[in-house]
Amino acid sequence: MKSRRRAQEAGSMLLKYIQPSSVSRNNKNWFHSAVNTEPKVELHTGAAVVDNLRNSDGKGIAETVFNLYKNQETHMMNMSEIFTVIEKSGIRRSDPRLATFLSKLSILHEHLGEKNTTLSNLHVDETTFCQLTEDNLVLLNQIVRNDIIIPDWKSFTNQITEMFNRCKDNQEGEVASYIPQLSRYNPDLWGMSICTIDGQRFSLGDVNEKFTLQSCVKPFTYAICLSELGNEGVHKYIGQEPSGRNFNDLSLDTSNKPHNPMLNAGAMMSCALILKKIFPCLGLAEKYDFLLNYLKRIAGGEFIGFNNSVFLSERENAYRNFAMAYYMQENKCFPEGTDIHDCLDLYFQSCSLEVTSESLSVLGATLANGGICPITGENVLNASSVRDTLSLMYSCGMYNYSGQFAFKVGLPAKSGVSGCVLLVIPNLMAVALWSPPIDSIGNSERALQFCEELVEVYSFHRFENLNNLVSQKMDPRRQTHELKTLNTLTLLFSAVAGDVSSLHRHYLQGVDMTICDYDGRTALHLAAAEGRMHAVKFLLETCRVPPSPQDRWGHTPQEEAFRFGHDEVGRFFDNYLI
Ligand code: GLN
């Protein structure tokens, strides 16, 4: 009751703030009331986590970030500082996990009526900054600390760009022609999108062109069945073995089940299970909505459409799929009461769902992330269903090339005749590739080349030896243990160089700022001896390191400053040594 009343009050406050004249900017809570009209959905970014976001000095993370990036003279912060860090990390401004922050910022921008400045160029004080960021602190904290799965996003994306450009020149393959709607695609189209498990995004080429999922939908209909019905409920009807046959072959396994869910017969069975076993009371239209909405949640709300002419054409030209369905019916494969025409319709509809490489990459990233959509934090599919899906993508996802693909690339993937390939690197990222020309087996030529080049450069093959003394391949992933040792070293170097922004980064990453080398020399000793006033100030004021540690010769940082002729720095220590 109380919270509803609060929300209503806040709602009327919002109206008030549409007319800026009625608002006092000095009221600390004006902002809060203006934007706080809806209950907040904190998903994996729970409030308890936010409460823990405090540094050792007890300061909240928002205050700390503000103090690091504020202008030391005006004590205001220009929002461009934060946007630069966000962009560098690979996280997009449009990421749903930053939505509240962005919408608060645009209300503030409107409210201040700052004509000469853009939204990302606003100057804000500490209180405003804390209010702006309070709902999105978990992600912002992660970004500012660069605590993200691929920390050096720029180098990684530069490599990817080179691979993408090399594949562009590949002129092999023919555009699928079994239905006219597919045959009309320009063979030069080529798009690639990456989404990591932390929601870092990178896209190149024709990434906003729509194409139908075709067989790429199969892992998802299967994963939905597993999530809803459990392993046994599904595998009573579908096998788990590669068939060694064409994707539309008229055959069943020795127990009269479709060989696996990545082939047409198995995918038809997933559709039958969706119709007959999951909420059987729902009508056909509602079942289509159920599937579509499920996929939209897996795609974090990004584009999923429907191509009706592809659907009609698929249905019109589906003699073999009809034959397969009748064959399965004859062998009593389907759950009791299945109408095979309804089942085929849902199968054709699922193949005719449209995506872009952008949205396909998020669909895949949810699989890479154990069923949690990286950009919304929603746990859409359960983790064991995702694991099972990836296993079968690995052994059966690339048609009759699956064995060779598993051998060469060593990763789960699924392709579709529209020219798409979804490659999943578990616990890291998904790559959506799309180019219409396919080889005689049905896999996109450019996409195949890209996958092979990717594992040539990076140690992503499942069975790659990760010992970097043996492997010549790169690994862009954050390496916690090594990083810690490296951090100590770079912290001391940053102090010598007086590189305050690097010191900021170390501090935010939770590096112990009092750490010393073999001779007992701390960052403070080194900064003082080199006369780095800003670094000394930062270490004493913000990090609150002890002001007079002794090195192995008994020297304190203040003595070091005087010893090397940096009197001003030496005197600055007096403020801390009472
Ligand atoms: N709609 C196509 C079919 O059922 C999908 C096949 C595919 O992408 N391989 O034949």
At residue 201, what are phi and psi to the nearest 5 degrees?
A: -125, 145
So what's the pLDDT on residue 40?
35
Instruction: Check if 248 has its Cβ closer than 6 Å to any atom of ligand 1.
Output: yes
**Ligand 1 center from residue 324 Cα (angstroms):** 13
**Ligand 1 center from residue 202 Cα (angstroms):** 28
**Ligand 1 center from residue 282 Cα (angstroms):** 26
Instruction: Check if 314 has its Cβ closer than 6 Å to any atom of ligand 1.
Output: yes
Instruction: Check if 321 has its Cβ closer than 6 Å to any atom of ligand 1.
Output: yes
Instruction: Check if 214 has its Cβ closer than 6 Å to any atom of ligand 1.
Output: yes
Q: Which atom of ligand 1 is nearest to the CA of 320?
A: 10
Instruction: Check if 351 has its Cβ closer than 6 Å to any atom of ligand 1.
Output: yes
Instruction: Check if 264 has its Cβ closer than 6 Å to any atom of ligand 1.
Output: yes
Which protein residue has the closest C-alpha to ligand 1 atom 4?
Answer: 264
Smallest Cα–Cα separation from 374: which of 71, 44, 47, 122? 44
Q: Which atom of ligand 1 is nearest to the CA of 314?
A: 1
Instruction: Answer for the pair 178, 76: CB distance below 8 angstroms, yes or no.
Output: no
Q: Which residues are catalytic?
A: 215, 218, 347, 399, 417
Which protein residue has the closest C-alpha to ligand 1 atom 2?
Answer: 214
Smallest Cα–Cα separation from 366: which of 357, 353, 375? 375
Which residue ranges make up each domain of the chain? 2-144, 157-471, 480-576
Q: Which atom of ligand 1 is nearest to the CA of 399?
A: 9
**CATH for 157-471 (3.30.70.360, 3.40.190.10, 3.30.365.10, 3.40.710.10):** 3.40.710.10
Instruction: Check if 313 has its Cβ closer than 6 Å to any atom of ligand 1.
Output: no
Instruction: Check if 382 has its Cβ closer than 6 Å to any atom of ligand 1.
Output: no
Task: Copy the structure tokens of residue 240.
Answer: 């788990």
**Ligand 1 center from residue 156 Cα (angstroms):** 34
**Ligand 1 center from residue 398 Cα (angstroms):** 12
Instruction: Check if 266 has its Cβ closer than 6 Å to any atom of ligand 1.
Output: no
**Ligand 1 center from residue 213 Cα (angstroms):** 9
Q: Which atom of ligand 1 is nearest to the CA of 215?
A: 8
Instruction: Check if 215 has its Cβ closer than 6 Å to any atom of ligand 1.
Output: yes
Which protein residue has the closest C-alpha to ligand 1 atom 6?
Answer: 215
Instruction: Check if 246 has its Cβ closer than 6 Å to any atom of ligand 1.
Output: no
Nearest-angstrom CA–CA distance, 388 and 203: 28
**Ligand 1 center from residue 269 Cα (angstroms):** 14
Place of tokens 């010393």: 516
AA letter at 382: N
**Ligand 1 center from residue 434 Cα (angstroms):** 16
**Ligand 1 center from residue 248 Cα (angstroms):** 8
Q: Which atom of ligand 1 is nearest to the CA of 416?
A: 8
Which ranges of 236-334 would DSSP assign to H, the alpha helix? 264-276, 284-298, 308-316, 319-330
Consecutive H or E run containing 449: helix 445-457
Whether CATH 3.30.565.10 fits 480-576 = no
Q: pLDDT tens, position by position, for the chain (578 residues)?
A: 344 444 344 333 322 222 223 333 333 344 444 334 333 333 333 333 344 444 544 457 888 889 888 888 899 999 999 999 999 999 999 999 999 999 999 999 888 876 668 888 899 999 999 999 999 998 998 998 888 999 999 999 999 999 999 999 999 999 999 999 999 999 999 999 999 999 999 999 999 999 999 999 999 999 999 999 999 999 999 999 998 888 888 889 999 999 999 999 999 999 999 999 999 999 999 999 999 999 999 999 999 999 999 999 999 999 999 999 999 999 999 999 999 999 999 999 999 999 999 999 999 999 999 999 999 999 999 999 999 999 999 999 999 999 999 999 999 999 999 999 999 999 999 999 999 999 999 999 999 999 999 999 999 999 988 765 566 788 898 665 566 677 778 899 999 999 998 898 888 777 889 988 889 999 999 999 999 999 999 999 989 999 999 999 999 999 999 999 999 999 999 999 76
Instruction: Check if 443 has its Cβ closer than 6 Å to any atom of ligand 1.
Output: no
Nearest-angstrom CA–CA distance, 12 and 153: 43
What radius of gyration do the chain's Cα atoms show? 28
Smallest Cα–Cα separation from 124: which of 138, 111, 136, 137? 111
So what's the pLDDT on residue 484?
63
Instruction: Check if 494 has its Cβ closer than 6 Å to any atom of ligand 1.
Output: no
* Beta-ladder partners of 306: 353
Which of 185, 217, 247 has most ligand 1 atoms within 8 Å of its beta carbon, as the pocket-test mutant? 247
**89: how many CB neighbours lie within 10 A of its CB?**
22
Instruction: Check if 13 has its Cβ closer than 6 Å to any atom of ligand 1.
Output: no
Q: Which atom of ligand 1 is nearest to the CA of 214?
A: 8
pLDDT tens digits, one per residue of 248-301: 888 899 999 999 999 999 999 999 999 999 999 999 999 999 999 999 999 999
**126: how many CB neighbours lie within 10 A of its CB?**
15
CA dihedral for 406, 154, 70, 575, sign (positive or negative):
positive
Place of tokens 């909405």: 293
Which of 264, 414, 441 has most ligand 1 atoms within 8 Å of its beta carbon, as the pocket-test mutant? 264
**Ligand 1 center from residue 191 Cα (angstroms):** 21
Q: Which atom of ligand 1 is nearest to the CA of 267?
A: 4
In our burial notation (b when 16+ CB lie closer than 10 A, e otherwise), range 532-544 reads bbebbbbbbebbe
**Ligand 1 center from residue 318 Cα (angstroms):** 9
- The DSSP secondary-structure symbol of 58 reads S
Nearest-angstrom CA–CA distance, 398 and 392: 10
Please list, in sequence order, all residues whose beta carbon lies within 8 angstroms of the beta carbon of residue 419, skipping any fewer than 6 positions away. Answer: 175, 176, 185, 189, 211, 434, 435, 436, 437, 438, 444, 447
- The DSSP secondary-structure symbol of 96 reads G
Q: Which atom of ligand 1 is nearest to the CA of 248?
A: 10
Q: Which atom of ligand 1 is nearest to the CA of 347?
A: 4
Instruction: Check if 350 has its Cβ closer than 6 Å to any atom of ligand 1.
Output: no
Residue 367: burial class (beta carbons within 10 Å; 0-12, 13-18, 19+): buried
